[in-house]
Chains A and B, each alone.
Chain A
Amino acid sequence: MVTTTARPRPRSASPGRVPRRIPAARPQRPPRLPLPRGSRLRLAAPHRRLHAILLAVTFVVIIFAVRLVELQGIDGRAYARQATAQYLHTQTLPAPRGEIVDRDGAVLAASVDARDIVVDPSITKDSTDPTPQAIAAKLARVLHVPASRLLGPLTGSGRFAYLARGVTPQIAAAVLALDLPGVAAQPVMERVYPNGDLGAQVIGFVGTDGNGLGGLEYAYNRQLVGKPGKRTVETGSNGTVLPDGTTALVEPIPGVGLQLTLDRDIQWKAEQALAAQVAATGAEGGTVIVMRPSTGEILAMASVPTFDPAHPESAPPGVLGNPAVSDVFEPGSTAKVITMAAAIDSGILTPTSPIDVPPTLQRVGRTFHDAEPHGEEHLTLTGVLAESSNIGAILASEKIGTDRLYHYLRAFGLGEPTGLHFPGESAGMVGTPATWSASQRYTIPYGQGIAVTALQVADVYATIANGGVRVTPRLVKGFLQPDGTIDPAPPPDRTRVISAATAAALEQMLEAVTTDQGTAPEARIPGYRVAGKTGTAQRVEPSCGCYRGYTASFVGFAPADDPQLLALVVLDNPVNGHFGGAVAAPVFRDVMSFALETLKIPPTGTTPPSLPLRVSPDGRPVG
């Protein structure tokens, strides 16, 4: 603009100067005056032209300004969005789910990078070179699945289908190397369980979306899932990240890991010994629990049947739970110890109190028997427990009364969840004495007529082993923070249930069970003092609600005089033999031996006491 307005000036000025000089120099040339006069007329024109140009320029500038306001102010955001969408790409960075490790840090569940192989069927469906069949054949070789299973997704409708989920990055790279049309790989996090089905019922499993659906994976899902991050980058048309482009990065926050109290080796041994015995006895299932009575830490918790946590969808229905805490059964003789504890803790009986056990006992129109027929027997309270006499337990309970028995049943934790907070945990069933039927009053002392979980039984004996103080059982030892530190889990609750003296007396009584006179010599471990109790209970058949078959169990701890470990074995409906001392005690011995060895717990080397089991008819104890 400056140049256009400046140019006319010299032109109008020079004609003005020339005429002035010409008359002076050459006055004889007036006729040429009209020419300067004409140019003088033109001198007025630039102003108008200037105005016109100015007007035009203003007009154009106004148009520009209006358009500018329109683009930047009114539609600006939409255009900016369209533009950024072309070169800004946001990638979600999946947060790894927290690991689950055993007490020594051995990995039980971990998240690894994996790929989903996906396809756009609209590309492959009508592809002629290669044909869908050829694509399927090529993929089948890399993915190790039958080609027929791939043909469905390849020729389906829509624009997205999974060909394989959770394959390793190496396999995904091999798939991409085939350079097949429409086939791509998506990064995902895959949950893996390096030990297969080890501890599956405790650890649980996750769904395809990566959220826990069972076991501890479900119970601690909130801690285990991390927070996904995202990365926004400017990319060129070929996907290369522009070096000078803006990049926003939100780091993913990994999930918090769980350190369990489980010991991988003991867990394996428990599962393996249990599975072998379930197969050998033809039982429908079974449970093994190993725990430390002093801390409530569960070292092993195994049940049969189990499932593969990596493929929960292929498990038969009903096996995805944790039977050790969710399945209830009538405990049978293992509950007699509560009757004994009530009697001794109340000061009514002592381990050597004589109890005359008749062959049968008539109560409320029913005849009660012992497991094996016998004549009139003169037992001590210890003898009643060691020989597992139902009649003896009833007679003992009559001395203490139903209210007191109920008090101790509840004090030992029956009829309420243990405080483990495991999903699906059952409280069991212990009615108040007012709701007890006439016969229940006599069956509950020996463990029929109440329902308990395996963990509750283990908890009762752990309380006795721990000197009468009940410690809330637990499976989680600590939380593995992303920075590598471990937050210990809050300490368990401790409640005194029976006096230390009562607990010590019960320990000695339970040791008599594993003597040759007791019901479970099979549970003995050479060199160790082992205390325990068998259980052979009538089993409630869920289909008919009637008694059918048996629940065989053994629960015990070692060393008896310094209880370090407790183990419980329950077999559900064994066919080849059904006595707890015959089918469950050997499993206890195997698992306990292994656990003692693994945790390097030597024998105490003390001599076991010999409490008299029988008394002579005149009341004197006999060896």
Chain B
Amino acid sequence: MSAARPAPTASEEPVGGLRAAPRYAALRAAPRPAPAPPRPRLRVVSQPRRAPRAPFVLLVCALLVGGLVAVLVLNTWLAQGSFTLRHLQREQQQLADQAQALNRELQALEAPEALAARASALGLVPAPNPVFRNAATGAVLGVPNPASPPPSPAASPAASTTPTPTPATPARSPSPSPHPTGPTPAASPHAAGPTAPRSPHAGTPTPSQAAGVRRSPAPSPQPSGRR
């Protein structure tokens, strides 16, 4: 554009440029009306080529939409996780509560009071004095005595002192579930001498017979019922 424009102030000096020379000649000959000198042809200069805008706009829009969608998805995902977390926490709490309740029930069942009540409901009586049998030598330690017969079944010490809501009332013990666990250790001595502990006329049992109904040191001690 600047090349096409004439420079009126640079008249005296012949500034280099082949195209300029005819113009200076024409200027010098200006006083004289010259037959119309060949004017430089003017032409419309086209605008400089620009990169097409549409793809760029589309790209930006796509990025924008994509970003928004990504944020939305991410947020939804996080919110979903939060809901799942809350749900699982609630479930965990419920299970913990349940475990705690079952634990309390178990503790009430294994309380000595409850065990004694169930033992006496099964007709077990406490041993009058401790007698042991040495498992290795078979020697009986202590003086075996027959146990006194159980009192009437109605006499149950359960309700007297324990205030906890213990489900181990004698009424419940005959239900099938406690049976396999409860009476097993206590019932095994019965196999050795079934009649000795209960019959009042057992007389004087031989030491070995009585030791059979006593506990040997091996089984874990079991609380006995009230007399």
Interface residues of A (CB under 8 A from B): 106-107, 110, 112-113, 168-170, 173, 192-198, 240-244, 264-265, 268-269, 271-272, 275-276, 306, 308, 310-311, 525-528, 593-594, 596-598, 600-603, 605
15 A-B pairs with C-beta separation under 8 A: A113-B97, A169-B93, A170-B101, A194-B107, A196-B111, A197-B161, A198-B112, A264-B112, A265-B223, A268-B112, A268-B116, A276-B226, A311-B163, A527-B141, A528-B129
Residues of A within 8 A of B163 (CB): 196-197, 308, 310-311
Q: Is B162 an interface residue (CB 8 A)?
A: yes
Rounded to whole angstroms, the CA-CA distance of A420 and B142 in the bound complex is 35
Rounded to whole angstroms, the CA-CA distance of A112 and B103 in the bound complex is 10
Whether the pair B223, A600 counts as a contact (CB closer than 8 A) is: no
Whether the pair A194, B111 counts as a contact (CB closer than 8 A) is: yes
Q: A112's closest neighbor in chain B, by CB? A: B100
Within 8 Å by CB of B141, from A272, A525, A603, lies A603
A173 to chain B, nearest CB (A): 8
Q: Is B172 an interface residue (CB 8 A)?
A: no
Q: A244's closest neighbor in chain B, by CB? A: B78
Residues of A within 8 A of B113 (CB): 195-196, 198, 268, 272
Q: Is B62 an interface residue (CB 8 A)?
A: no
Q: How many residues of B contact A (CB 8 A)?
A: 46
Rounded to whole angstroms, the CA-CA distance of A110 and B164 in the bound complex is 14
Rounded to whole angstroms, the CA-CA distance of A197 and B111 in the bound complex is 11
A316 to chain B, nearest CB (A): 15
Residues of A within 8 A of B126 (CB): 594
List of 6 A-B pairs having minimum Cβ-Cβ separation, nearest first: A194-B107, A527-B142, A268-B112, A597-B130, A196-B162, A526-B143
Residues of B within 8 A of A526 (CB): 128-129, 142-143, 145
B103 to chain A, nearest CB (A): 8
Residues 145-159 of chain B: 1 if any A CB is under 8 Å from the residue's CB, otherwise 0? 100000000000100
A188 to chain B, nearest CB (A): 14
Within 8 Å by CB of B223, from A241, A268, A310, lies A268
Q: B98's closest neighbor in chain A, by CB? A: A170
Within 8 Å by CB of B128, from A192, A195, A275, A593, lies A593
Q: Is B40 an interface residue (CB 8 A)?
A: no
Residues of B within 8 A of A527 (CB): 129-131, 141-143
Q: Is B217 an interface residue (CB 8 A)?
A: yes
Whether the pair B97, A170 counts as a contact (CB closer than 8 A) is: yes
Rounded to whole angstroms, the CA-CA distance of A477 and B141 in the bound complex is 31
Residues 72-90 of chain B: 1 if any A CB is under 8 Å from the residue's CB, otherwise 0? 0000001101110110000
Within 8 Å by CB of B224, from A240, A525, A594, A600, lies A594
Residues of A within 8 A of B221 (CB): 265, 597-598, 600
Whether the pair B164, A195 counts as a contact (CB closer than 8 A) is: yes
Within 8 Å by CB of A241, from B86, B160, B226, lies B86
Q: Is B118 an interface residue (CB 8 A)?
A: no
A358 to chain B, nearest CB (A): 40
Whether the pair A192, B145 counts as a contact (CB closer than 8 A) is: no
Rounded to whole angstroms, the CA-CA distance of A596 and B157 in the bound complex is 23
Residues of B within 8 A of A198 (CB): 111-113
Query: Known interface pairs A194-B107, A594-B224. Does A243 touch B79 (Cβ–Cβ under 8 Å)?
Result: yes
Rounded to whole angstroms, the CA-CA distance of A269 and B94 in the bound complex is 37
Interface residues of B in 156-186 (CB under 8 A from A): 157, 160-164, 166
Residues of A within 8 A of B96 (CB): 113
Residues of B within 8 A of A264 (CB): 112
Q: Is B108 an interface residue (CB 8 A)?
A: yes
Within 8 Å by CB of B82, from A113, A240, A269, A528, lies A240
Q: Is B132 an interface residue (CB 8 A)?
A: yes
Whether the pair B164, A193 counts as a contact (CB closer than 8 A) is: yes
A177 to chain B, nearest CB (A): 13
Whether the pair A600, B132 counts as a contact (CB closer than 8 A) is: yes
B226 to chain A, nearest CB (A): 6
Residues of A within 8 A of B81 (CB): 243
Whether the pair A194, B104 counts as a contact (CB closer than 8 A) is: yes
Rounded to whole angstroms, the CA-CA distance of A386 and B160 in the bound complex is 38
Rounded to whole angstroms, the CA-CA distance of A194 and B157 in the bound complex is 17
Residues of B within 8 A of A275 (CB): 160-161
Q: B81's closest neighbor in chain A, by CB? A: A243
Whether the pair A528, B111 counts as a contact (CB closer than 8 A) is: no
B52 to chain A, nearest CB (A): 24
Residues of A within 8 A of B122 (CB): none
B86, B163, B215 — which one has the most chain A CB atoms within 10 A of its CB? B163
Residues of A within 8 A of B145 (CB): 526
Within 8 Å by CB of B142, from A242, A271, A276, A602, lies A602
Whether the pair A597, B82 counts as a contact (CB closer than 8 A) is: no
Query: Known interface pairs A197-B162, A243-B81. Does A168 touch B107 (Cβ–Cβ under 8 Å)?
Result: no
Whether the pair B129, A525 counts as a contact (CB closer than 8 A) is: yes
Residues of B within 8 A of A272 (CB): 113, 116, 157, 161, 226
Residues of B within 8 A of A308 (CB): 163
Whether the pair B86, A265 counts as a contact (CB closer than 8 A) is: no
Within 8 Å by CB of A195, from B98, B101, B111, B127, lies B111
Residues of A within 8 A of B101 (CB): 168-170
Q: A264's closest neighbor in chain B, by CB? A: B112
Q: B162's closest neighbor in chain A, by CB? A: A196
Rounded to whole angstroms, the CA-CA distance of A105 and B79 in the bound complex is 45
Residues of A within 8 A of B166 (CB): 196
Rounded to whole angstroms, the CA-CA distance of A94 and B78 in the bound complex is 29
Whether the pair B112, A195 counts as a contact (CB closer than 8 A) is: yes
Q: B8's closest neighbor in chain A, by CB? A: A24
Q: A525's closest neighbor in chain B, by CB? A: B129
Whether the pair A602, B141 counts as a contact (CB closer than 8 A) is: yes
A113 to chain B, nearest CB (A): 6
Rounded to whole angstroms, the CA-CA distance of A310 and B78 in the bound complex is 45
Residues of B within 8 A of A110 (CB): 107
Residues of B within 8 A of A593 (CB): 127-130
Whether the pair B82, A241 counts as a contact (CB closer than 8 A) is: yes
Rounded to whole angstroms, the CA-CA distance of A195 and B113 in the bound complex is 8
Rounded to whole angstroms, the CA-CA distance of A240 and B93 in the bound complex is 16
Residues of A within 8 A of B157 (CB): 272
Rounded to whole angstroms, the CA-CA distance of A194 and B100 in the bound complex is 12
Rounded to whole angstroms, the CA-CA distance of A308 and B96 in the bound complex is 27
Rounded to whole angstroms, the CA-CA distance of A113 and B100 in the bound complex is 8
Residues of B within 8 A of A597 (CB): 127, 130, 215, 221
B105 to chain A, nearest CB (A): 10
Q: A195's closest neighbor in chain B, by CB? A: B111
B206 to chain A, nearest CB (A): 16
Rounded to whole angstroms, the CA-CA distance of A602 and B218 in the bound complex is 12
A91 to chain B, nearest CB (A): 12
A272 to chain B, nearest CB (A): 6
Rounded to whole angstroms, the CA-CA distance of A593 and B97 in the bound complex is 41
Rounded to whole angstroms, the CA-CA distance of A594 and B116 in the bound complex is 13
Residues of B within 8 A of A242 (CB): 82
B81 to chain A, nearest CB (A): 6
Give 11 A-B pairs besides A310-B164, A528-B130 with Cβ atoms closer than 8 angstroms. A110-B107, A169-B93, A195-B113, A198-B112, A243-B82, A269-B223, A525-B129, A593-B127, A593-B129, A600-B221, A601-B130
Whether the pair A194, B164 counts as a contact (CB closer than 8 A) is: yes
Whether the pair A169, B143 counts as a contact (CB closer than 8 A) is: no
Q: A600's closest neighbor in chain B, by CB? A: B217
Rounded to whole angstroms, the CA-CA distance of A192 and B163 in the bound complex is 12
Rounded to whole angstroms, the CA-CA distance of A192 and B100 in the bound complex is 12
Whether the pair A240, B83 counts as a contact (CB closer than 8 A) is: yes
Residues of B within 8 A of A243 (CB): 78-79, 81-82, 85
Rounded to whole angstroms, the CA-CA distance of A200 and B131 in the bound complex is 31
Rounded to whole angstroms, the CA-CA distance of A243 and B75 in the bound complex is 9
Rounded to whole angstroms, the CA-CA distance of A374 and B143 in the bound complex is 35
Rounded to whole angstroms, the CA-CA distance of A463 and B35 in the bound complex is 150
Q: A169's closest neighbor in chain B, by CB? A: B97
